[in-house]
Amino acid sequence: MKSIHRLVLIALIGIFFITDLGDVHGQQGFISLDCGMPHNESSYTEESTGLTFSSDADFIRSGKSGRTKNDEPVFGRASIKPHKYLRYFPEGTRNCYNLTVMQSTHYLIRAVFVYGNYDDLRQRARFDLYIGPNFWITVNFEDIFSSMSSSEEIIHVPKSNSLDICLVKTGTTTPFISSLKLRPLRDDTYTTTTGSLKLLQRLYFSNTESIVRYPHDVHDRIWDSSFWEDDMTEINTTTPVDTKNAFDIPQAIISKSSIPKGADKSWSRDWVMLNPDDVQVYLHFAEIQVLKPSDTREFDILWNGATISYEYSPPKFIADTVSIRTSTKCVDSCNVELVRSRSSSLPPSISAMEVFGVLQLPQSETDENDVIAFKNIQATYRLQKTSWQGDPCVPRYYMWTGLNCSNAVPSVPPRIISIDFSSYGLNGTIASDIQYLSQLQKLLDEKQNLCFDSSCETEAGDGNGKKKLLVPILATAASVGLITAVLLLIILFYRTKRSSKAYDAYFSDPRSSIVTNKRSFTYEEVTVMTNNFEKTLGEGGFGAVYHGNLNGNEQVAVKVLSQSSAQGYKQFKAENFQAKLGDFGLSRSFPVGSETHVSTNIAGSPGYLDPEYYRTNWLTEKSDVFSFGVVLLEIITSQPVIDHTREKSHIGEWVGFRLTNGDIKNIVDPSLIGDYDSSSVWKALELAMSCVSPSSSGRPNMSQVANELKECLLSENSRKEGKHDVDSKSSVELSTSFGTKHTPDAR
C-alpha cells in the first residue's frame, strides 16, 4: 500500500512540477533547463523564442558550471542566452539528470552541446549519451571539420514517472551539456511498435533560409529549410491552411510547397545513412492552390523504388501526413520519390519531411518499486554517493556500488537481490523500506551496526569479534512461483481423479486465478476460506495448519504463523491439501517479536535441503529450487523422499537410477494406471531432475520451472481434449529449455 501511495504522490508532484515549469506563454508541460546556470539565478525568458528557462541545479547532483567564450565560432549558437553557460563533468563516469515526467506520454527530448572553449583547452570531446539504461548516441567533436556545437533529439515514451538522461565518459575528454529540453507530444503521433525515434532530418521545402520553431511550432520542433533552385519551384498561399491534425504542422511551413521543375519530372529526395537503423519517415502535404475544375494533382509515393501509395492527392487547404514505417534498412542511402500519375494534370507537391532512425531500447529499467524503495532507504541513512546516479542496476558496469541485481533477460525489469552496507559505517535499525524490496535475498553489514529494532542503538559497541550480519531473504516471487508450480503439477497428475466438469469450472472461474494471476490472499479471504479457522489439521514448526476450501471445490491447507513461533515472520502459505511441502523456503528469515538476531536454524524435513548448504553454509533461491524438485519427484512417483530399502535411498538418486533403463512405467505413480501423456511426464521428470542437480548452477530458476510446467499442462490438456497438436505459438511462448546436461537420453 505504501508503494502505491508513493506512486500517486510522485504523479501529483510530476503534474505540479511540469505545470509550474511549463505553463508560461502556452508552454504547457515544457521542461527547459539551462545547464550550468547558477542555482541562485532566477528563471528567464529567452528573447528570440519566448521560451522560459530555469537552472538545472535541482535535477543533477554532480558536475561543475562553465561559461562559454565569445570568441569561439559556433555558427551563432553561442549568441543566445541558454548557451552562455554549460555543465561539465570532470569527475565520475556516468552523470545523470533525473526528471519527473508523465508515464506513457510521448516526449520530444533535445540535448544541446555548445563547447565555446569554456576551458581554454580547445579540446574536441567525445562521449556517450544514454536515455535511461540504454545507449542513445555518441556526441563526437573529434572530427576537425565538425562544428563545435551539436544538437541531438529523440522522441521517447517513458515507462515510469522518472526519466534519466546520462552523459557517460568514454575516453580522456570531459563530457558537457548546454541545455536540455522536454516537450510533450500527442500520443497518436510519432508512434512505433518498438524503440524510440532518433531525429535524422526535419526539413521544410521553401526558398527561404529561416529556421521555424517555437512559437510558430507549438511543440518547439526545429525545422530547417531545404531547397534546390535547379530542381524545385516554390508555390505558396496566404489562405490559412487547416493544421489541426495530430501533427500540428506550423502555418509558416504548410502554407508553402515545392514542386519539381519540368512538367514530366518527379520530386525526389536522397540522404546518406551513416548508421544501419530502421527508418521512419513522415511526409507532410496540403493542396495550397485553388484548382480549376479540370485540374488534378495525383502522384505515387515511392520509398527506395517501391510504391507505397498510389494516386495520392493532397486534401485542399488541409494538412495531411503520410507516414512510412519500414523494418528494412537503407543500403548506403535512402530515397523518397513522388511520381506524377498518368491522370494528373499537375506535378506532385510536398511541404515538409521528417526522417527518424528507430533506436531500439533492449534493456528494461529496474523495477520501479525497487527503485523507490532503495531511494527511500538511501534517504533514511542520508547516503550521498556521487556514483549513485541513473538506473541502480543497469547497465551492469554502472551498477551502484553495494548492490547486486538480477538481469538475466534484458526485456524483464532487473530486481535488486542483495545490498552490502559494510563500507558505509551505518548504525541503528534496518530501514523499514527493506520490506518493499520483494526480491531481496541478502543484506550484508560486516560491522553489524544495523539491527532490527531500536535497542541496538544503545547497545552498539566497537564491533570487535562480531560476525557479519548476513540475512538471506526469501524472494516473494520465488514463493509465489513455488505455490503456482505445485498447483500446476498437482492439477496435471491428479486431474484424472477429478471430474473434468468441476476442473473446467474451476479453471475458467476468474475468481480462482492462483495459476494465472499468482495471487495472494488477504486475512479476510483466508478467514472465509477456512470458515473462521474451524478445522485444525495439525501443528507445524510455524504454527497451526487449517483445512479450507477454495471457491467451494478445491481443498487447501492454510498454514498460519504462531505468534510464539521462532522459525519465521508473519506470513502464511496456501498449499494444496494433497501436497506435502517442507519449510525449505523459510530456512532463514527476519526475526519476530523482541528478537534482534537472525535465526540460523535450518527448518524442514530430511531429504529436501540443498546438498550445497552442507559445503557452503549458504542458502539461496536455488536451494528452494532443489527442495521443490524433490517435491515434484515425490508427486510424480508417489514415493517417499527417503527410503533405505530402495536401490538408492534418496528419491532423486533413485529416479536417476531408474531413468537409465528408459522406462517411466516403473517410476510414475502406479495409481494413475498409465492414464497420462508420456511426453509431458518425461518433460516433468526432466524438469524435476534438473531442479535436484547437485550443483546450483545447473538448476533452473522458479520462473523457468513455472513456464515448463505450463507447457506440460498444455500437452496434457491437448491429450484430454483429443488433440495431438499443441498450439505452436503458445508452446514457443511458454517453453524454456535447460539443455541436456541433466536430462535422460532414453525415450
Residues in the chain: 747
φ and ψ at residue 378, rounded to 5 degrees? -60, -40
Handedness of CA 512, 518, 521, 526 (dihedral sign): positive
φ and ψ at residue 357, rounded to 5 degrees? -95, 140
Instruction: For residue 479, give the DSSP letter.
Output: H
Over 71-127, what HEC string results?
A: CCCCCCHHHCHHHCEEEECCCCCEEEEEEECCCCCCEEEEEEEECCCCCCCCCCCEE
Distances (CA, A) of 730 to 171, 295, 468, 710: 47, 55, 47, 10
User: What amino acid is encoded at 242 in this protein?
Assistant: D
229 Cβ neighbours under 8 A, 6+ residues apart? 207
| Burial (Cβ within 10 Å: 0-12, 13-18, ≥19) of residue 71 | exposed
Distance (Å, whole) CA 254 – CA 248: 10
Instruction: Give the annotated binding-site residues for ATP.
Output: 559
Beta strands in 384-434 (DSSP E): 403-406, 415-420, 428-429
Helix (H) or strand (E) holding 201: strand 196-204
SS3 for 427?
A: coil
Distances (CA, A) of 362 to 93, 130, 359, 555: 22, 13, 9, 43
Distance (Å, whole) CA 439 – CA 573: 17
Distance (Å, whole) CA 312 – CA 547: 71
Distances (CA, A) of 104 to 108, 186, 357, 369: 13, 11, 20, 17
Residues paired with residue 558 on neighbouring β-strands, in sequence order: 546, 574
User: What amino acid is encoded at 310 in this protein?
Assistant: Y
Side-by-side strand order, sheet with 415-420: 403-406, 415-420, 442-445, 469-472
Instruction: Give the annotated binding-site residues.
Output: 559
